[in-house]
Structure 1
């Protein structure tokens, strides 16, 4: 397993591999790897000859400086986990100046409004930061396929828009959410939850599952009101938002249409730790 901290050195290695007709897969991460990340890497390994895993904590997507400061940094452990999957992996772990050579600022993007709802509404500037670093990483590696988890489903749709708008010849692969035995969606933030709260947080997925059942017979407004009430009576979890939206456009709905696919999206605080999840409704 080889670790690169400079784009030029990585690109030189990838040119050599492409000359041998190898396909390149990429898994962008911010480190603090867990089973959700490893599932992406496994899928990438199964579908490509060469896989690059990037590890870069991107400062421009944190609208809360405290979140950035508290984000776990575990390069040694991450490298160990990746080496157990394959010694042939390439790790791209650049420093700040490598990815932001001039100034640590995000580019402004227009994704037809999908960047302004849900996460975009509650985290101003977040998706500009995400798109800035994802575009930079994709251009640095130029993979055939790049892999993203559906836990960050809105981000996945943003990345698909980005690749389409910039006409990058890259296939964006969405991969299923990986969950803890309790149902809690795997996230690096879960490690910050006290044991008791980590157990309580399984309520988030249980509520999404119940909302899916209700969506079969009730309106989106009725389901949303029910979810609000469920969290109002939960002592440890504070609902930031619950939204039912079109799975493609991410536009919130008020009336269902048979031919459309919908997803439910949720963000919840557990003692200041922000957790997100989503579920397909039909």
Structure 2
């Protein structure tokens, strides 16, 4: 019994040590004398925000409850003042930003759609006699899951797969949790072939991979199993990820 308890404690500690990933945000909603900074993480964690009027002196700290949805209110701010902030948990920085209280939000003018001119009588006749377009051939490509190893071999914490699929599967048009896990595995194979940038983080023994063209991001455990796979909203998300860039030959797994 003692050995079982110790094993369970080691497993729980190892899982808790895994890095938290920022899914969206941070965003800022301003009021007349304050602001609310919001962000979302892939798993529940603590809430901490540090802020100040200088990028090098974030001397004000606020904390919130444990959760995946994080909202922190900054009260008593001064209009026209620029505030800098960092968000994360007590153990990990996840993002940063700045805002000027009272500054108008930036918007882009929308161009009204151009009206389509009516078709001439000749065009209508040609449309009527035009042969039907050939029907597309049925897709005979094997599902993604059929081209990857079994999910239990590629996904790190199998009990978290359904939750990740529910939240991120739509990012990749995944048909099922197994399909989603297989796509994450294939994403890693592209990186191992030298096609995508990779970062190795010694602090949590994690590999991070990013596709700058599609904004797809994934994190993997030391043994190559998947931790998460999604498309972050922030264009600077990859730049803010910890770790050093590595080549496929430097991977700790095959």
TM-score (norm 2): 0.26
Looking at secondary structure, tell me which structure has more strand per residue.
2
TM-score (norm 1): 0.24
Looking at secondary structure, tell me which structure has more helix per residue.
1
- Structure whose alpha-carbon radius of gyration is higher: 2
Does 1 or 2 have the higher relative contact order (CA < 8 Å, sep 6+)? 1
